[in-house]
Structure 1
Amino acid sequence: MLASAARATGILLGWFADQALGDPRRWHPVAGFGTLALALERRLYRDARPAGVLYSATLVGGAVALGASAEVLGRRRPVVRMLLTAAATWTVLGGRSLAREAEAIADALDADDLPRAQSRVRNLVSRDPSVLDADGVARATVESVAENTSDAVVAPLLWGAVAGVPGLLGYRAANTLDAMVGYRNERYRQFGWASARLDDVLNWVPARLAGGLAVLCAPLVGGERSRSWRAIREQAPAHPSPNAGVVESAFAGALGVRLGGRNVYGGVVEDRGELGYGEPPRPADVARTNRLAAAVSLGAALTSAGIAAVIGRVRRR
């Protein structure tokens, strides 16, 4: 195997592994990283940005260093590099597990079991599910699938293509820290600032790739590319996140539903603007969202493998 093909092949193998197997049910490396991050937070926490910068730099830098060490092992052995890239890709992706959670919520809604649906949606969103009716749970699920398709699938694939195993592990570390401390509440407003900003930077390009793929795939779910593109241009800036707004508006336009609005996070109300031009999503729209997410995921895997192959050829020359 040529060295230029090792990274591209590893990315595709890791993507297929995630689609077939999902996350490991026990001993997941990301869960172990989260445990380490909690322990370090207890030691470093201060209500100050410098403490948060040190926290983020230590953990993300450590993940990148681990990935770089793995790349050294496969420097002259393309098959080893391919297998390491595949294992790292499978470890950091979350596409299949995301789809399974959405499917479980859709099943609960189809059975008119709102309490079960509210309980399951806690696995996807940080907003208060107790105030959500069936349509509210459906909206939360659609928004989460859209955003996490970018964060947990497109972004790691793209960073893996550009930077190999260090990119895969470093990105996943940064994204995990954002989910843990990147909140604008009293405890994390200062300490979590660095983690949140780093995640914004790392997701800027991937979010736009995810949005573009959603536009291209809109006809697969009965949508219109023009409406999806229009939603990005006109409505994405209203979202408080520079990246989630792009992806959620693209999905909303492609699905023909209206997302966004007022959400409650720990008693704090946040207005995320109006995204899309149709009616609010119904429970049946969750399955359509999963189909769109699967198409975007496949497109991202092929795109990333292509980028990795091109980078490999350029380096050989």
Structure 2
Amino acid sequence: MMLLFAIIAGFILDLLIGDPRWLPHPICLIGNLISFLEKLLRSIVGKSSRGLLVGGAVLVILVLTFSFCIPFLLLAWAEKINPWLSFALETFMCYQIFATRCLREESMKVYTALRNNDLTDARMKLSWIVGRDTKELTKSEVTKGAVETVAENTADGIIAPMLYMFIGGAPLAFLYKGINTMDSMVGYKNDKYLYFGRCAAKLDDFANYIPARVAGLCMIVAAYLLSLDAKKAWKIFKRDRYNHLSPNSAMTESVTAGALHIQLGGGHFYFGKWVPKDTIGDDIRQVEPEDIVQTNNLMYMTAVLSILVFALIYLLELFIKS
């Protein structure tokens, strides 16, 4: 029961205060670890495809070990001192794992720049939250980028870590964030990471498989609760949920596209290279900055709905065991 309270308290703290810039963030520490290990392993394994595959696999093992063991040992140490200290520490860990408010704030910076007709600033703000090249994007493309980022990260930035929290507490959620951070840093299909990042990318696909689908279904219900077009969201989800290079990313993007009557997806430049992608949704109307606001509302409702559903399942499981 203490885990349930820790998750809910962490979720509420994230909604209230987000991620203060002065506070060291564990995901940044994981990112620094990945950068350090990548340089070290590349210097050891060389440039052969086999060596890079082995180096990438070793990176995954080391990052997952650190990501899980450090919070696990800290919580075990706190539990020995006082159960309430362990509860407070796990609450703080859960709070740092969630990214709901941060995702909204960063995407709304893009929205504000677009509303001020400052496309240069909007492109720059978008570059902070996406991996694609943004310097030549049109206003519509910038808007789509922000909408897609919020929609996709609803799954892997909120619902996925939340689900893993309910299964294995903060340590398992940090393990997931280690996987997700590796994928965002080395999981690219370009010349540099095709072999070195393959293990991380495949593991991220596996770790997000169930959470992405849960997030998509919860988002359809959230669309209904927000009086958006839930019927269209369900239709596009069924039709376009695999219209992405990732097997998981289009789950929530397709729901968003359907609920808002817009078309997402399509090809983009990544590191100067054009990457073709299928479109998601029907081109019923032109995307507009207000769609960023609507997508954030959809993200918030999906997050609240998901934590309520997970909490009920958790309590039901406790009741059955008792």
Q: Which category describes the TM-score, using the shorter chain as reference length? A: over 0.9
Match of 1:293?
299
TM-score (norm 1): 0.93
Displacement of 1:64 in angstroms is 1.1
Paired letter, 2:185: M
Shift in alpha-carbon separation, 1:69–1:23, aligned structure 2, 3 A: same
Paired letter, 2:20: P
Q: 1:55 aligns with which of 42, 51, 59?
A: 59
Moved more, 9-18 or 303-312: 303-312
Displacement of 1:307 in angstroms is 3.7
Displacement of 1:24 in angstroms is 2.9
Partner SS state of residue 282, structure 1: coil
CA distance in 1, matches of 2:68, 2:317: 19
Is the 8 Å Cα contact of residues 258 and 275 (structure 1) preserved in structure 2?
A: yes
Match of 1:122?
127
Q: How many residues align?
A: 312
CA distance in 2, matches of 1:289, 1:203: 20
Partner SS state of residue 105, structure 1: helix
Moved more, 47-56 or 65-74: 65-74
Q: 1:258 aligns with which of 245, 263, 266?
A: 263
Match of 1:270?
275
Is the 8 Å Cα contact of residues 229 and 259 (structure 2) preserved in structure 1?
A: yes
Match of 1:39?
36
Displacement of 1:165 in angstroms is 1.9
Q: Which residues of 2 match residues 142-181 of structure 1 at below 5 A?
A: 142-181=147-186
CA distance in 2, matches of 1:313, 1:199: 33
CA distance in 1, matches of 2:265, 2:173: 30
Shift in alpha-carbon separation, 1:245–1:275, aligned structure 2, 3 A: same
Is the 8 Å Cα contact of residues 207 and 247 (structure 1) preserved in structure 2?
A: yes
CA distance in 2, matches of 1:125, 1:150: 15
Partner SS state of residue 224, structure 2: helix
Q: Which residues of 2 match residues 125-136 of structure 1 at below 5 A?
A: 125-136=130-141
Displacement of 1:11 in angstroms is 0.5
Match of 1:12?
8
Q: 2:97 aligns with which of 92, 97, 114?
A: 92
CA distance in 2, matches of 1:305, 1:54: 36
Paired letter, 2:2: A
CA distance in 2, matches of 1:179, 1:264: 16
CA distance in 1, matches of 2:15, 2:100: 7
CA distance in 2, matches of 1:198, 1:309: 30
Q: Which residues of 2 match residues 104-123 of structure 1 at below 5 A?
A: 104-123=109-128
TM-score (norm 2): 0.91
CA distance in 2, matches of 1:120, 1:208: 29
Is the 8 Å Cα contact of residues 67 and 171 (structure 2) preserved in structure 1?
A: yes
CA distance in 1, matches of 2:83, 2:305: 25
Moved more, 105-114 or 233-242: 233-242
CA distance in 2, matches of 1:42, 1:314: 49
Deviations 1:181-238, CA, capped at 9 Å, x for gaps:
1111111111111111111111111111110111101134442222111111111122
Query: Is structure 2 residue 300 aligned with structure 1 residue 303?
Result: no
CA distance in 2, matches of 1:147, 1:242: 12
> Could you say which structure has the greater relative contact order, defined with CA pairs below 8 angstroms and 6 or more residues apart?
1
Structure 2 spans left out of the alignment, 5+ residues: none
Paired letter, 1:22: G
Is the 8 Å Cα contact of residues 30 and 67 (structure 2) preserved in structure 1?
A: no
CA distance in 1, matches of 2:317, 2:183: 29
Displacement of 1:71 in angstroms is 4.0
Is the 8 Å Cα contact of residues 123 and 137 (structure 2) preserved in structure 1?
A: yes
Paired letter, 1:242: P
Paired letter, 1:125: V
Q: 2:18 aligns with which of 17, 22, 39?
A: 22
